[in-house]
Structure 1
Amino acid sequence: MSVKHLNQGQLAERWGVSEATLERWRSEGIGPVFLKLQGRVAYRVEDIEAYETESLRKSTSERVNAGGAL
């Protein structure tokens, strides 16, 4: 099984946010789970997609669960 990963820069580009925003979100426990291997941060695509799905809303009045930053 091949697992695809994105680095911080790739995820920042995908979501249109800065890398600093992703760093802040990680420190605050916001966003998808991530791997930290030898000082490098990586996100599994399946975790990114799951987080995006959990963040879907039909209305601006819907409440966002803790950790839902998008």
Structure 2
Amino acid sequence: MVVQHLTPTALAERLSVSTRTLAAWRADGTGPTYVRAGAQIRYPVADVLIWEARNGVGPVDDEYTGPVDLTGLDPHATATLLALASSIGVPIEMVAEVVGMTVAEVRAHIATIVPA
């Protein structure tokens, strides 16, 4: 199963910050986008990746773990994520490497939602 949302604990571990830091970021609007389901808080993975790219941060693990698995996302969400990453200045070659696609495949996904 592909994880589409992170818990605050999982995101805190990923970024090597405390869950209190995440709560402060939610309060002042500086952290990744989150959703509430009742009392539960979840961070959509796609939004976390975009936030990391915009803020120049990411997992604090020095070991590269391989491409991000986007197979569980619907095609429109995948295309939107790739287009957003590209639009905020992440080089398309880097986007392709992170998601385990060729540059041509990334461009093809983006083309499904962004007119040429």
- TM-score class, shorter: 0.7 to 0.9
**2:90 alignment counterpart:** none
Q: Distance in 2 between matches of 1:3 and 1:19?
A: 19
| 1:20-31 aligned within 5 A | 20-31=20-31
% of aligned pairs identical? 36
Q: Distance in 1 between matches of 2:16 and 2:3?
A: 23
Structure 1 or 2, whichever has the larger Rg, is: 2
3-state SS, counterpart of residue 32 of structure 2: coil
3-state SS, counterpart of residue 36 of structure 2: strand
| 1:3-18 aligned within 5 A | 4-18=4-18
Q: Distance in 1 between matches of 2:33 and 2:51?
A: 9
- Structure 2 residues without counterparts, runs of 5 or longer: 58-116
Amino acid in the other structure paired with 1:36: R
**2:48 alignment counterpart:** 48
Of structures 1 and 2, the one scoring higher in RCO (CA 8 A, sep 6+) is 1
TM-score normalized with structure 1 length:
0.74
Greater strand proportion: 1
Q: Distance in 1 between matches of 2:21 and 2:45?
A: 19
Q: Distance in 2 between matches of 1:36 and 1:50?
A: 19
Deviating beyond 2 angstroms after TM superposition, the runs of 4 or more aligned structure 1 residues are none
Greater helix proportion: 2
Q: How many residues align?
A: 56
